[in-house]
Structure 1
Amino acid sequence: MEKEKEKDSPQIKQQIQKQSQNIQQSYITKEDQQQILREYKLIGNVLGLAIYNSVLLDLHFPQALYKKLLNIQPNLKDLEEVKPEVALSLKKLLEADDAQLFDLTFSITKKSFGQIINIDLCANGSEIVVTNQNREQFVSLYIDWYFNKAIQPAFEQFKIGFNDTVGDLLHHIVSPSELQLLVIGQSALDFEELESTTQYDGGFDKKDPTIRKFWDILNNRNLQKEHRQMVREWEKDLQEQEAEEQKIKEQQKNKLNQNDKEQLKKDDIEKQEQNNSDLQQTTQSSSQPTTVQSLLDKSSSSSSSSSSSQPTPPVKLKHKVSKHAPLPPKLFTEEDKRRFLHFVTSSSRAPIGGLKEIRMIIQRNGPDSDMLPTAHTCFNILLLPGYKSRMKIRQKLLTAINNAEGFGLR
């Protein structure tokens, strides 16, 4: 009994819990921790190099990270971006008539390695009750813990890696939102800006019919004109198909008529030979008389079997044109524009200053053909065959941008 009581004592329970926690934490060695910190530093290096070389990255860090890089303290609004439910609870705490109804102290709980641990936000925090007088201090301490103390080792290495590349030059000349734009670019896309600064090569110029149709498609201009052209092309293809069908039917009919004539001639010869043979048999064998009706039956059966008409084979065409007129072209959507931008530049966002800063080059890649457009993302070059029709430009362009995967960070 004494041993059981000793085992159930609070001191023993606390010691067992601490030993269990130490065993679970021992799964991550010091070498592993150092390696993790080195990786955080490497990510900071990559971010700094991207800014230094004006390369946009598809890394959507919260605004608080850019504030910390510029030594600006995050606030409750930043917490709302990453932890909306917690931020809403803190807002309710600040607006409540009586903060003590929340039954909070200056300590929080956190799950670590399967264990729930208590963390004091200040000295003896578990003994200090949150009231109307100190609730603002509680919110401030929680935000400081979440954005600073809880991630201090990792963020310090991240910031060291970032500053190794860009130094402290950005701290006094950019705001957090501007720093974010340097990394990920602008989300709004103005393709008319892109058109205004695009250059042309290989025989193209801005007045080329292919180029004018290309920009009309990307900027959703002259859609009615494009639809009328699609209908005209469809009517032309349909007429050509009907003429081809009629030509094939005439050829098949002539071939069947010629075969019928040859077959009738052959039947007449066989019929004459059969009659001669029957007459000879009639004269030679008087014991087996042959009636005229039997001769007629044989003749009719042979002629009907040999001269039966063959069924007309179906008409086969290389390309089948639909009997229904084409529908109006769909708009080139924002998602299509982002895919196109990623296809040409390997980034779906605009740099600071807008799309006019990209200075894309459209180079002619041969005459009208079934080739798809291609791109050199390192130089923002689009290789475009000299397509003649709007419909073909739209189809080939959408096929290319929706089935392409180039270089990028994963």
Structure 2
Amino acid sequence: MYRPGTDAQWSLYAGAMASPRSHRSYPPPAPFGSNKPGSPSPAAGAGATFARSHPLPNSRLAGGPTTRAPDVNMTTGTCQCCGHLLRFPLTIKAFRCTVCETVNDLDPVPLPEGGQVQPHRLSLERLRTLTNAAQQNRQSAELLEKTIADSFSLHVAINESFSNHKPVTETNCGVNLDDVRTAYAILLSNTSPSSNVSRNGSLQALTQNLERLSITSSRLVSALNQAIDKLLKRPGRRLVGANDIKFLMIILENPTLSSKTNNNDVTFYHDILGRLFGLVSCLSNDLHHLIVSWFSQLPIDIFQKRVDMVNFYISRRLSTKDGMRENYSNDWGIKSAARVMALLFAANLARPAPKLVISDFYNTVVDYVDLIRDYLKWQEEKSGAFSFCQYPFLVSLGGKMTIVEADAKRQMQERFKEAFYRTAMHNQPTDPFFSIHVRRNNLIADSLNSLSARNADLKKKLRIEFVNEDGIDLGGLTKEWFLLLTRDLFDPQYGMFDFDEDSQLCWFNQASLENSEEYRLVGTIIGLAIYNNTILDVHFPSACYKKLLNQNVGLDDLQVLHPALGRGLQQLLDYDGNDVETVFSRDFVAEYTAYGASVIVPLVPNGQSVPVTNSNRKKYVELMVDFLLTRSVQRQFDAFKEGFMSVCGGNALSLFRPEEIEMMVRGGTELDIESLAGVCDYEGFNPNESTIRNFWDIAKRLPTDMRRKLLLFITGTDRIPATGIQNMPFKISCLGEDSEKLPVSHTCFNQLCLYRYKTRDKLETKLMKAINWSAGFQLK
């Protein structure tokens, strides 16, 4: 519990209130936030947080009596580990933060041994020499242990160790990381003897010789990590320049920090990780840019380990501290780790392929906190408290969908209450549902009329009625309406969208004669599907979802949509000859086909007279991409986006990445029958009786297209939920003994109803007929 002190108690308390920051802006927050030296860090959180500054005797830290003279001048500064703003006298040279216990030196600590740091610097060759000598006698073995302890506990020593002798830049951290990894491997007892880390015998022989001299590898590792812990508790200087932070890259390579062995070690390593993440998170914006660049150059397997290391820390901190899942917003360790993960996420976006997918950043333990409360807290205009919604890459797709569904349910309930209030108080009969009546043979026009006429009702619960058909919509008719409507709207013969045969993806028809309302209808339908937790079989490229989230699109996105055209433009850029104009014979124009006629559009004024050359080809590609993905379909896409945002607009949408929006819209395509059987519940059937065994055997033998039809018959959609089949309720119920009637399904409940057909052949025949004849509600 942090308590504020008065000016008269400066030697016991020193504190200042951190400035609150609003987090209403779309997440994730920039990994290079406003935590410049001397200013409050976002890691500090918000609200009145106070910390003490303790005098430490026999050091350059604040000393003297425990009560201050009334005329001492005060100043403020941030702890460079936890980011809290502290107040302390101008006369002291260092202060200790009581939030994280880090000693902050305002001036660099003097160098040891008369200013000579060379004896403490490590290189791979020096470490090999020391380890070889350590096998010969105990004195050399003890020297190895002492060298490790001295080198890793002193900033100026470890920061200059394993140097690659190159200046620190965005592309070079100044450290030979391969040598660092090899050095750690030599020190670890569990390294495979076959590892290519020593030219002087196997590590197994080295370990055995060291143990003979009572210097075990575990002792070396202990000395190593005790030294790192000492260094992180007191770095000895402010980390303000690029040359100050090389040691952080060395420590991040330490594989023991993500160890999951015995609890005592895990607790110790966990504390080291917290301090390490704290120092990284509180660096300046410019240093964060460097860290991101260095992270982006790591091999993909090492990069994955960094992400896992941060998630390991967050998971353990949330799981082991009492009440942490409720009070995490004030925990500096979780804030620091989340900020480091933001740096890794930015590095992943910047790195060349291969990249990690968004799910690699998910932390499943985060899903167990109260995400609804977290979202509401993030929504508060003046809230400066930490929330996981600021760092949505930590929240799984299922967790985000929980937030969206809760927000949608809240808004639906509000519309429902408003409708009943108007009915009760003003005698105005109002439908509490968004009821849509459509004819199957006039589906698009009827749907468009309903959506246009009742725009204010979009956030009510949908209820669909097919004219002149029986059935009450408990969810199944809504699914069928979505399915049939999207198939009609995306039918190539309807002319709203063009399809690429190579990619099997669709894009807005540049020459479409349809009015904007129909594109708005498509956007509304997709928004309603998300809002009503229904998946659709639509084939938009990633560019569509990027544009919905206001993200830039480029050549990579065009290559996904139009592979042949994209490859051609990439070849133009990659061509290394000096005769681009002659070889490619292109001008600054774009061309497309509109109802059989060729349409030529200049990309620049008088573009048909401007040839593409070596010097302007990059500009040509940029203009071509912009034309195809933006300018040529501006009217169509703007109407589509307007419809989508009329349903899904708001802060919740900003929690998602484009690929997550796509997954929510489309769901998954791979139907694993084994997995479906694993989540199935039974009513009136024993899972081991012949009818059930025959059903699963038939399902497993179905070709892919028939499996999708089976899923469509039972659930109303031929795709699985975005969060996986394990989250899809599924039930098989018994209708009675053998019968000539067909199976039926209740798509509202994902329920298949079977009779106890006497033979496998009869079950298969009846099931296939039911699947193929299932259009309309009659069989449901």
TM-score by length of 2: 0.32
Residue deviations 1:82-124 (CA, integer Å, cap 9, x gap): 3333223223322332311222222234556777554332345
Residue deviations 1:205-230 (CA, integer Å, cap 9, x gap): 424432233223323xxxxxxxxxxx
Letter aligned with residue 541 of structure 2: P
Within a 5 Å distance, the mapping from 1:5-404 to structure 2 comes to: 36-96=515-575, 97=577, 98-101=579-582, 102-110=584-592, 118-169=600-651, 171-201=653-683, 203-219=684-700, 331-404=701-774
CA distance in 2, matches of 1:350, 1:50: 14
Q: Is the 8 A contact 2:729 2:749 kept in 1?
A: no
Letter aligned with residue 392 of structure 1: K
After TM superposition, give the deviation of residue 170 of structure 1 in Å.
5.1
Distance 1:118 1:196, change over 3 A: closer
Cα RMSD (Å): 2.5
CA distance in 1, matches of 2:729, 2:759: 26
Gaps spanning 5+ residues in structure 1: where?
Answer: 1-32, 220-330
Residue deviations 1:3-44 (CA, integer Å, cap 9, x gap): xxxxxxxxxxxxxxxxxxxxxxxxxxxxxx997111111111
Please state whether the residue corresponding to 2:676 is helix, strand or coil: helix
Q: Is the 8 A contact 1:104 1:130 kept in 2?
A: yes
Letter aligned with residue 344 of structure 1: I
Bigger mean CA offset, 186-195 vs 87-96: 87-96
What's 1:257 paired with? none
CA distance in 1, matches of 2:531, 2:651: 11
CA distance in 2, matches of 1:116, 1:34: 16
What's 1:310 paired with? none
Letter aligned with residue 212 of structure 1: R
Q: Is the 8 A contact 2:711 2:718 kept in 1?
A: yes
Letter aligned with residue 209 of structure 1: S
Residue deviations 1:156-181 (CA, integer Å, cap 9, x gap): 11101101111133543222222111
CA distance in 2, matches of 1:129, 1:149: 21
Distance 1:352 1:111, change over 3 A: closer
Please state whether the residue corresponding to 1:72 is helix, strand or coil: coil
After TM superposition, give the deviation of residue 187 of structure 1 in Å.
0.9
Letter aligned with residue 385 of structure 1: Y
Q: Is the 8 A contact 2:666 2:722 kept in 1?
A: no
CA distance in 1, matches of 2:513, 2:594: 19
Residue deviations 1:280-327 (CA, integer Å, cap 9, x gap): xxxxxxxxxxxxxxxxxxxxxxxxxxxxxxxxxxxxxxxxxxxxxxxx
Bigger mean CA offset, 142-151 vs 165-174: 165-174
CA distance in 1, matches of 2:688, 2:556: 50
Letter aligned with residue 765 of structure 2: Q
CA distance in 1, matches of 2:630, 2:534: 29
After TM superposition, give the deviation of residue 72 of structure 1 in Å.
2.1
Letter aligned with residue 756 of structure 2: G
CA distance in 1, matches of 2:594, 2:742: 53
Q: Is the 8 A contact 2:527 2:647 kept in 1?
A: yes
CA distance in 2, matches of 1:218, 1:113: 44
Distance 1:368 1:159, change over 3 A: same
CA distance in 2, matches of 1:111, 1:398: 43
Letter aligned with residue 216 of structure 1: D
Q: Is the 8 A contact 2:663 2:722 kept in 1?
A: yes
Q: Is the 8 A contact 1:108 1:118 kept in 2?
A: yes
Gaps spanning 5+ residues in structure 2: where?
Answer: 1-511
After TM superposition, give the deviation of residue 68 of structure 1 in Å.
1.1
Letter aligned with residue 182 of structure 1: M
Distance 1:115 1:390, change over 3 A: closer
Letter aligned with residue 84 of structure 1: P
Q: Tell me how many residue pairs correspond in the alignment.
A: 263
Please state whether the residue corresponding to 2:590 is helix, strand or coil: strand
Distance 1:90 1:388, change over 3 A: same
Q: Is the 8 A contact 2:687 2:693 kept in 1?
A: yes
What's 1:287 paired with? none
CA distance in 2, matches of 1:337, 1:104: 48
Residue deviations 1:304-353 (CA, integer Å, cap 9, x gap): xxxxxxxxxxxxxxxxxxxxxxxxxxx32222211110111121111112
After TM superposition, give the deviation of residue 358 of structure 1 in Å.
2.3
Please state whether the residue corresponding to 2:736 is helix, strand or coil: coil
Letter aligned with residue 642 of structure 2: I
CA distance in 1, matches of 2:598, 2:772: 47
Letter aligned with residue 381 of structure 1: Q
Q: Is the 8 A contact 1:37 1:154 kept in 2?
A: yes
Greater Rg over alpha carbons, structure: 1
Letter aligned with residue 370 of structure 1: E
Residue deviations 1:249-273 (CA, integer Å, cap 9, x gap): xxxxxxxxxxxxxxxxxxxxxxxxx
CA distance in 2, matches of 1:108, 1:399: 50
Q: Is the 8 A contact 1:191 1:355 kept in 2?
A: no
Name the structure where helix makes up a greater proportion of residues: 1
CA distance in 1, matches of 2:697, 2:772: 19
Letter aligned with residue 156 of structure 1: D
Please state whether the residue corresponding to 2:745 is helix, strand or coil: strand
Q: Is the 8 A contact 1:193 1:354 kept in 2?
A: no
CA distance in 2, matches of 1:65, 1:217: 39
Q: Which has the higher contact order (CA 8 A, sep 6+)?
A: 1
TM-score by length of 1: 0.59
Q: Is the 8 A contact 1:106 1:138 kept in 2?
A: yes
Please state whether the residue corresponding to 1:382 is helix, strand or coil: strand
Q: Identity, % of aligned pairs?
A: 38
CA distance in 1, matches of 2:694, 2:519: 48
Please state whether the residue corresponding to 1:384 is helix, strand or coil: strand
Letter aligned with residue 107 of structure 1: V
Distance 1:111 1:386, change over 3 A: closer
Letter aligned with residue 69 of structure 1: L
Q: Is the 8 A contact 1:373 1:384 kept in 2?
A: yes
